[in-house]
């Protein structure tokens, strides 16, 4: 029983005594205080939570799905499952507010996950899959079917709001001539 809890604490990012003891052993010999690893960034914490959530979703399937058997269809089902927890109103084709950026009143259209949230989620899960030993060529989060689904969600949400999606242009920060010369290196011949 104790070893199960120890593994659970580590998986959940606990800093309890079991996690500290294991962290010291895993850290091995080296400089610095191995008992207090630096806190995870917001991105890393979210990526860990998302990965654990997806793993739990697979375990809750009937029959449970092993991560090694996971494919793009499981990911698509997961994304559709998440819609029930969405907070973005997506007007349906027959709604009187369809295509209006700021509807004047309430309607019965469903709440969905916002496209940007799903896109970011897939990015984190794609990275987590490979960090947890998955091969890039078998990454179900990198599937073409996932990209097509996300594009369809983006386009349908943009139409429902009446605001066409426009890709943001990256801001360029050109280097000034004096900055380029001071930062470039040249190889001098003897």
The pair of structure tokens assigned to 10 is 């580590």
Question: What pTM, to 2 d.p., does this model score?
Answer: 0.65
Q: How many helices (H) and strands (E) does the chain have?
A: 7, 2
Write the pLDDT tens digit of every residue in 9-22: 434 444 443 333 33
In the prediction, which pLDDT does 35 show? 76
For 69-121, write each residue's pLDDT tens digit. 999 999 999 999 999 998 888 888 888 888 887 888 888 888 889 999 999 99
| Predicted confidence band of residue 66 (pLDDT cuts 50, 70, 90) | very high
160/162: higher pLDDT: 160
Distances from the Cα of 148 to the Cα of 16, 26, 141, 155, angstroms = 43, 41, 12, 11
Q: Look up tokens 């009937």; give the residue.
A: 62
Within 8 A by CB and 6+ apart from 26, the residues are none
Q: Omega of the bond prior to 63 within 30 degrees of 0, cis? A: yes
Residue 55 burial by Cβ neighbours in a 10 Å radius (0-12, 13-18, 19+): middle
| All structural domains of the chain with their residue ranges | 42-161
């Amino acid at each position: 029983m104790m070893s199960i809890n120890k593994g659970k604490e580590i998986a959940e990012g606990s800093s309890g005594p079991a996690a500290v003891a294991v962290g010291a052993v895993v850290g091995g010999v080296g400089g610095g205080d191995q008992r207090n690893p630096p806190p995870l960034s917001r991105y890393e914490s979210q990526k860990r939570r998302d990965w654990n959530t997806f793993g739990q979703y697979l375990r809750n399937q009937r029959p449970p799905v092993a991560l090694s058997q996971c494919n793009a269809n499981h990911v698509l089902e997961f994304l559709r499952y998440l819609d029930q927890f969405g907070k973005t109103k997506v007007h349906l084709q027959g709604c009187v507010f369809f295509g209006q950026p700021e509807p004047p009143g309430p309607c019965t259209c469903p709440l969905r996950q916002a496209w940007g949230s799903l896109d970011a989620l897939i990015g984190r899960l794609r990275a987590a899959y490979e960090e947890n030993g998955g091969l890039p060529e078998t990454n179900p989060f990198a599937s073409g079917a996932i990209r097509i689904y996300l594009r369809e969600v983006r386009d349908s949400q943009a139409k429902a709001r009446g605001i066409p999606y426009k890709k943001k242009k990256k801001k360029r920060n050109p280097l000034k001539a004096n900055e380029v010369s001071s930062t470039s290196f040249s190889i001098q011949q003897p």
